[in-house]
Structure formats: C-alpha cells, structure tokens
C-alpha cells in the first residue's frame, strides 16, 4: 500500500529529480510518474496516488507574483502550458528569496485551472514545514494549470466547481456551484459587451448554511443585444476577492427605429409601465434622450430593445 510522503521524509525518499532552472518540456513521448513515486522539478514536488502521465506540456517557473489582497503571492509561480490532472501530494520548496514579504508559516498552496485572470483557490489544509521550506498538501483529483503559495487570508476561501449559463425566454440564466466555502461574503455578477470592460449588474449573498457544495443562480432580465460576457467577482469578508472564468451568451441584436415622445401616463402598445419596470429598462442603457419643454419640465426618453420584436419600444420617464 502506497503511503503519502510527509514533509519531513520528502528529502530522504528515492524520487525522480528533474532539476531545470526555469522550464521543463515534455514531448509527445510523455513522462509517466508511477503512483507513490515522487517527482521534483524546479522546486515543484508531486507524489501522485494514481499513475500520472504528462504529454506535450511545458512547465515554466516565473518570479512574477500573483496579485492579491492584501499581499501578493510568493515570487515562485508554476505554470503548465496545458492543464494537468493530479491526485495526491503537491508541494513547493519555497526559496527564502521568493517569500515576497509573506510569512512562511502562514503560506498555503493556491492553484488555478483558468489562468492568471481566473480564480486562485486556496488549499486550507496545506502545511508549511521548515524542513526544506516545503509548503504542501494532499489534494483530491484536481485539475490545475497555475500553482503558487500565498498567506491564508490573501485568497478567497472557496472552490468554484462550475460557472455556466443559458439564454431562456429573452433572459440569461447564470448558474454556479462552489465547495469549501469559508468567510465568503458573496458574488458580484458582472457583465460586458466586449469581454474587457465589465460592470456590476447584481449581487448574490453567500449561502450561510453548512454544506459540502453550494448552488447559486442569477437572472439577467435585460441582457444586451448581441454578445454578453459574464464573470463573478467572488468576495471574501476581509475585502479580498478573485474573479471567476468568463462565459459568453448570445442575445438577439437590437434593430433601432424612429421613436416618438409619449405624454405622461401614456400606455405603450396597450401596456402601462410601473416605476420599477422603468428603472429596470433604464438599466439596459440602450439609448437616452432628454427634452426640456417650455413649461420647464424635463422629459427623459429611453429606448430599449425587446428581442421578440423587430423594433425597439420607447417610454417617457418624467
């Protein structure tokens, strides 16, 4: 029966030692690490509990820390060109010169499968051993691409298991699932028309009920015409946050047409709108024009697009 290596015994085991200064390239032939064997590459340590095969992949080590709040990560960041799926011990032999102001005793592993703009997930059960300056943890089957170490309160304490969405009845429904939540405040839902400039459109509070997994959802009742990009700003109670991966949903594009100013209290196409509905329409921010009448009243005309119609509708907001 295989036994997971302890921090104290790691250096004494017979292991595959791959000592490269900043990069390890593995070609089509692949590299196999048998269950129970230990692989060390440029300070990265892995001891899988099931056979691990890596092909057509490159491991790079960067001295550029991952930004976070209040402290950045250590200046020792590992990145594979493609994701790897591992199960078992994963650790980092931290160079003293790479601490970057962090307290070694507070360091925890942090990994991400989505890239530098993705969510770094903290491994709360990590241990920091002074023997070899090893920060390590035994992980379940985990898909990751980036790995570093941070102080335990500098990354969001949750695992984002999934973030998906669907277009339904002219709205966009977003779903996400998390695990291992601790000190989580909630999720700011952000939207963008180009995938670059995001703005908040809502907030979902964290589920305070004790559970292994948490399920959340959010409805965008007024999506933009065309492409809609969504991401989550996952906020911790201490003010730190991370962003989720970005998903894209499509909505029918707006077809603008002429409009007219309607008198106060008028119905549009036989429908009367409430103040709350007007405010919801205003959130779409499709088109806005203001008019000042001789009597001094100011009229604000908003145009928005209803996907099921070929032309936009207008409403007068006083």
Q: What is the pLDDT of residue 252?
A: 61
Q: Which residues pair with 167 in a beta bridge?
A: 172
Say if residues 66 and 121 touch (Cβ distance below 8 Å). Answer: no
11 pLDDT band, cuts 50/70/90, is: very low
Among 155-159, 234-238, 267-271, name the most confident range: 234-238
The tokens for 169 are 């009845």
Tell me which DSSP letter residue 283 carries: H
Q: What is the rounded CA–CA span in Å between residue 300 and residue 317?
A: 5
pLDDT, one tens digit per residue, over 133-153 is 999 999 888 889 999 998 865
Q: What is the rounded CA–CA span in Å between residue 183 and residue 237?
A: 6
Is 92 strand, coil or helix?
A: strand
Q: Which residues contact 275 (CB under 8 A, 6 or more apart)?
A: none
The whole-model pTM stands at 0.47
User: Which of 10-24, 58-72, 226-240 shows the lowest mean pLDDT across its residues?
Assistant: 10-24
Please state the rounded mean pLDDT for residues 63-72: 80
pLDDT at 118 over 80: no
22 pLDDT band, cuts 50/70/90, is: low
Residue that wins the pLDDT comparison between 158 and 73: 73
Percent of the chain at pLDDT exceeding 70? 66
Q: Which domains are present in the chain? A: 10-151 (2.60.220), 159-251 (2.60.40.10), 254-318 (no CATH)
Q: What is the pLDDT of residue 285?
A: 40
DSSP assignments along 162-198, one per residue: EEEEEEETTEEEEEEEEES--SEEEEEEEEESSSSS-
pLDDT, one tens digit per residue, over 163-222 is 999 998 889 999 999 987 777 889 999 999 988 889 999 999 998 775 678 999 999 988
The tokens for 121 are 């997930």
Q: Is 68 left (phi over 0), alpha (psi -120 to 50) or beta?
A: beta
80 pLDDT band, cuts 50/70/90, is: very high
Residue that wins the pLDDT comparison between 211 and 122: 122
pLDDT, one tens digit per residue, over 287-311 is 444 444 444 444 444 444 444 443 4
Q: What is the pLDDT of residue 271?
A: 43
254 pLDDT band, cuts 50/70/90, is: very low
Q: Which residues pair with 13 in a beta bridge?
A: none
pLDDT at 256 over 60: no
User: Which of 6-10, 171-175, 274-278 shows the lowest mean pLDDT across its residues?
Assistant: 6-10
pLDDT at 31 over 50: yes
70 pLDDT band, cuts 50/70/90, is: low
Q: Which long-range contacts (CB under 8 A, 24 or more apart) does 259-265 make?
A: 259/301, 259/303, 259/312, 259/314, 260/314, 261/291, 261/299, 261/301, 261/316, 262/314, 262/315, 262/316, 263/316, 264/316, 264/318
Say if residues 63 and 76 touch (Cβ distance below 8 Å). Answer: yes
């Amino acid at each position: 029966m295989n036994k997971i290596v302890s921090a104290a015994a790691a250096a004494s085991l017979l292991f595959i030692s791959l000592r490269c200064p900043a990069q390890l390239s593995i070609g089509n032939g692949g590299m196999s690490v048998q269950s129970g064997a230990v692989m060390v590459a440029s300070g990265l340590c892995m001891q899988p509990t099931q056979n691990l095969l890596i092909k057509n992949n490159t491991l790079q080590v960067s001295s550029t820390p991952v930004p976070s709040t209040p402290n950045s990560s250590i200046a020792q960041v590992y990145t594979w060109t493609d994701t790897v799926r591992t199960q078992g011990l994963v650790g980092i032999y931290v160079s003293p010169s790479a601490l970057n102001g962090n307290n070694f005793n507070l360091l925890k592993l942090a990994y991400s499968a989505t890239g530098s703009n993705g969510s770094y997930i903290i491994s709360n059960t990590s241990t920091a051993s002074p023997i070899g300056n090893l920060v390590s943890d035994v992980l379940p089957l985990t898909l990751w691409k980036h790995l570093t170490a941070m102080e335990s309160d500098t990354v969001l304490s949750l695992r984002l298991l999934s973030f998906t969405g669907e277009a339904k009845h002219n709205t966009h429904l977003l779903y996400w699932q998390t695990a291992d939540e601790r000190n989580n405040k909630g999720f700011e839902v952000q939207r963008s028309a180009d995938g670059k400039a995001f703005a908040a459109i809502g907030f979902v509070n964290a589920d305070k009920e004790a559970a292994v997994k948490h399920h959340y959802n959010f409805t965008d009742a007024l999506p933009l015409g065309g492409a809609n990009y969504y991401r989550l700003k996952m906020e911790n109670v201490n003010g730190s946050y991370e962003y989720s991966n970005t998903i894209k949903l499509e909505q029918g594009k707006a077809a603008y047409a002429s409009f007219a100013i309607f008198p106060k209290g008028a119905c549009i196409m036989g429908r009367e709108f409430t103040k709350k509905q007007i405010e919801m329409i205003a959130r779409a921010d499709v088109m806005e024009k203001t008019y000042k009448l001789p009597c001094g009243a100011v009229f604000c005309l908003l145009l928005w697009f209803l996907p099921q119609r070929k032309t936009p509708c207008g409403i007068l907001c006083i």
